C-alpha cells in the first residue's frame, strides 16, 4: 500500500488549478483576438474613441445610429454608443467565460443572450431592431445599463444604422449584402478567392 503525503496532494491540486487557469487565459486571449479581428473588419469600430467624442458624432443622428468603441472602464473591453430616445447613450459590453453580452440590471442579466463575438452580438440586436415588429424588438433588447438611462435604470435599445469611420469599400458592402441573402457561400458560383473573402466576414451588418 502506497501512502501519499497531504503536502504532495496539495501540490498536485495546485498544479491542476494552475494548468486550468492557464488554459482559460489562452482561451480568452484567442476569443478576444478573433473578436478584435472581426471588429476591425466592420468599419464601425472606432477604437479608443472617448464617450464625449462618441456623443459629438451621434448628437444629430437619428435614433438607432450606433458605433462600437473601446470601453473607458477597466472592467469592460467594449462599449456600444448609440442614439436612443434618451439621447446619445453608452452601453457596456460584458465579457465573461468566453462570451459577450450587454451589461444590464441584475434581474435581467440571466435573460440576456450571450455571443461568441462582439459583432455577432451587435448583429443580433440590429436584426431585432430592423424586424417588422419593432415593439417586440424593443422589449427583447431593453434593460441595458446606460450612462444616461431612464429612471428605472434601463434604456430601450434600437440598433439600425452603423456609423463608419470612413466610407467602406464597395467589396465589403457587397459582402454584407450577400451575407444578408444567404449563408451558403460555398454553393455560390464564385471563384474560391471570392468565397474566401466572403467567409472571412460572415456577418450582415
- Inter-CA distances, 144 with 61, 80, 117, Å: 20, 11, 18
Residue 58 lies in a domain: yes
Indicate the number of domains in the chain.
Answer: 2
Q: Which pLDDT tens digit goes with each residue over 158-197?
A: 899 999 999 999 999 999 999 999 889 888 999 999 999 9
**Whether residues 83 and 113 fall in one domain:** yes
10-residue averages of pLDDT along the chain (205 residues) = 62 61 70 94 97 96 96 92 90 93 71 91 90 53 52 70 96 94 89 92 93
Residue 10 lies in a domain: no
Q: Output the domain CATH number for residue 138.
A: 3.30.505.10
Residue 20 lies in a domain: no
**Whether residues 97 and 192 fall in one domain:** no
**Whether residues 90 and 147 fall in one domain:** yes
Query: According to the model, what pLDDT value does residue 152 have?
Result: 54
Query: According to the model, what pLDDT value does residue 158 have?
Result: 86
**Whether residues 153 and 112 fall in one domain:** yes
Query: According to the model, what pLDDT value does residue 85 have?
Result: 83
**Whether residues 57 and 157 fall in one domain:** yes
**Whether residues 71 and 120 fall in one domain:** yes
Residue 189 lies in a domain: yes
Q: Which residue has the cell 498544479?
A: 15
Residues 118, 106: Cα–Cα separation, whole Å: 21
Query: According to the model, what pLDDT value does residue 8 have?
Result: 67
Residue 24 lies in a domain: no
**Whether residues 98 and 176 fall in one domain:** no
Residue 9 lies in a domain: no
**Whether residues 147 and 176 fall in one domain:** no
Query: According to the model, what pLDDT value does residue 192 have?
Result: 93
Query: According to the model, what pLDDT value does residue 80 have?
Result: 95
Residue 23 lies in a domain: no
Query: According to the model, what pLDDT value does residue 140 have?
Result: 46
**Whether residues 68 and 140 fall in one domain:** yes
Q: Output the domain CATH number for residue 193.
A: 1.10.750.20
**Whether residues 55 and 77 fall in one domain:** yes
Residue 6 lies in a domain: no
**Whether residues 145 and 129 fall in one domain:** yes
Tell me the residue range of the domain where 132 lies. Answer: 51-162
Query: According to the model, what pLDDT value does residue 94 have?
Result: 92
Query: According to the model, what pLDDT value does residue 139 have?
Result: 47
**Whether residues 75 and 148 fall in one domain:** yes
Amino acid at each position: 500500500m502506497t501512502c501519499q503525503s497531504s503536502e504532495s496532494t496539495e501540490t498536485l491540486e495546485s498544479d491542476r488549478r494552475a494548468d486550468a487557469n492557464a488554459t482559460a487565459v489562452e482561451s480568452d486571449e484567442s476569443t478576444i483576438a478573433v473578436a478584435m479581428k472581426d471588429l476591425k473588419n466592420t468599419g464601425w469600430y472606432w477604437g479608443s474613441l472617448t464617450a464625449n467624442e462618441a456623443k459629438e458624432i451621434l448628437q444629430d443622428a437619428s435614433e438607432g445610429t450606433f458605433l462600437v468603441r473601446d470601453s473607458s472602464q477597466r472592467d469592460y473591453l467594449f462599449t456600444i454608443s448609440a442614439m436612443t430616445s434618451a439621447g446619445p447613450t453608452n452601453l457596456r459590453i460584458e465579457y465573461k467565460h468566453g462570451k459577450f453580452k450587454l451589461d444590464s440590471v441584475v434581474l435581467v442579466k440571466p435573460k440576456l443572450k450571450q455571443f461568441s463575438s462582439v459583432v455577432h452580438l451587435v448583429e443580433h440586436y440590429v436584426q431585432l431592431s430592423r424586424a417588422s415588429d419593432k415593439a417586440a424588438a424593443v422589449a427583447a433588447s431593453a434593460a441595458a445599463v446606460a450612462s444616461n438611462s431612464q429612471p428605472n435604470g434601463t434604456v430601450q435599445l434600437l440598433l439600425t444604422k452603423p456609423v463608419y469611420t470612413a466610407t467602406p469599400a464597395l467589396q465589403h458592402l457587397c459582402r454584407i449584402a450577400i451575407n444578408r441573402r444567404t449563408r451558403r457561400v460555398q454553393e455560390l458560383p464564385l471563384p474560391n478567392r471570392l468565397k474566401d473573402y466572403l467567409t472571412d466576414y460572415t456577418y450582415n451588418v
